[in-house]
C-alpha cells in the first residue's frame, strides 16, 4: 500500500552535461534514472528547468525530476515543480551525494541542514524549509582526497561504475519504500552500515 497524502516529487541532484554524467556528484541523477527504469517512468520531458518523468510507484503518483540548472541553482527548479504539482514540502524526496559518508553507504533522513552541500543549500533557500526528506549516498572513497571538488566532478572509473550498479538499485528500492511505506519505515529498513564501519551510515 502507498503511504497516503498525494503526489511525491523525487528530485535527483546533479549537473547537466556529458562531462559530469558519471561523476560522484551526479549520483542523484543516476539514482533517479534507475528509479525511472525500475518503474517504467521516462525522465525526458522539459518542465520547470528540469527533465521530468511522471508515473506511479506502489499506486502513488510520482514526479521524478532532474534539475538542469547546475547543482548550486537546483532550488529554483524544485520550487517551480513544487508549485506546479502542488506537492507539500514533506513529500519532496531529494537524492544526492554525500562526501562525508563512505562509499557505498545509504542514509535516509526525515529533514536536516544542507551540511555544506551546494545543491541542498539552494533547495533550503528556495523552499524556505529544511523539513523535507532526503536520501544521501555516501561517495567518499575511503582514502585521503586531494581536492574534494575535483573528486566529485571527475567521472568514476570503470570499476567504480560497476560497483555503483547495485548501489543504484539499493537506493532506488529505498526511494520506493519511502513512497510506499513512509519515511520512518524506509529509514528502519534501508539505512545501513558502511562496509567496515562500526557506526550506522
Q: Which residue has the cell 531529494?
A: 94
CA separation for the pair 201, 190 (Å, rounded) = 10
CA separation for the pair 89, 191 (Å, rounded) = 22
Q: How far is CA 145 from the centre of its chain?
A: 23
Strand-pair category, 50-57 with 60-67: antiparallel
Q: What is the DSSP letter of 27?
A: H
CA separation for the pair 18, 41 (Å, rounded) = 21
Annotation marks residue 25 as catalytic: yes
Check if the beta carbon of residue 113 is closer than 8 Å to that of residue 130. Answer: yes
CA separation for the pair 172, 35 (Å, rounded) = 5
Query: 23-41 burial string, b = 16+ CB within 10 Å, else e?
Result: bbbbbbbbbbbbbbeebeb
Catalytic annotation, residues: 25
Amino acid at each position: 500500500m502507498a503511504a497516503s497524502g498525494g503526489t511525491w516529487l523525487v528530485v535527483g541532484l546533479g549537473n547537466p552535461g556529458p562531462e559530469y554524467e558519471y561523476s560522484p556528484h551526479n549520483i542523484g541523477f543516476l539514482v533517479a534514472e534507475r528509479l525511472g527504469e525500475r518503474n517504467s517512468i521516462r525522465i525526458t520531458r522539459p518542465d520547470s528547468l528540469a527533465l521530468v518523468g511522471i508515473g506511479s510507484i506502489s499506486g502513488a503518483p510520482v514526479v521524478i525530476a532532474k534539475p538542469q540548472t547546475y547543482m548550486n541553482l537546483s532550488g529554483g527548479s524544485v520550487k517551480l515543480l513544487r508549485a506546479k504539482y502542488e506537492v507539500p514540502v514533506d513529500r519532496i524526496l531529494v537524492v544526492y551525494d554525500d562526501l562525508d559518508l563512505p562509499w557505498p553507504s545509504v542514509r535516509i533522513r526525515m529533514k536536516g541542514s544542507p551540511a555544506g552541500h551546494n545543491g541542498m543549500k539552494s533547495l533550503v533557500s528556495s523552499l524556505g524549509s529544511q523539513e523535507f526528506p532526503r536520501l544521501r549516498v555516501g561517495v567518499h572513497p575511503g582514502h585521503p582526497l586531494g581536492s574534494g571538488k575535483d573528486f566529485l566532478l571527475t567521472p568514476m572509473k570503470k570499476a567504480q561504475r560497476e560497483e555503483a550498479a547495485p548501489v543504484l538499485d539499493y537506493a532506488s528500492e529505498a526511494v520506493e519504500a519511502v513512497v510506499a511505506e513512509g519515511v520512518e519505515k524506509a529509514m528502519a529498513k534501508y539505512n545501513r552500515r558502511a562496509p567496515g564501519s562500526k557506526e550506522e551510515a
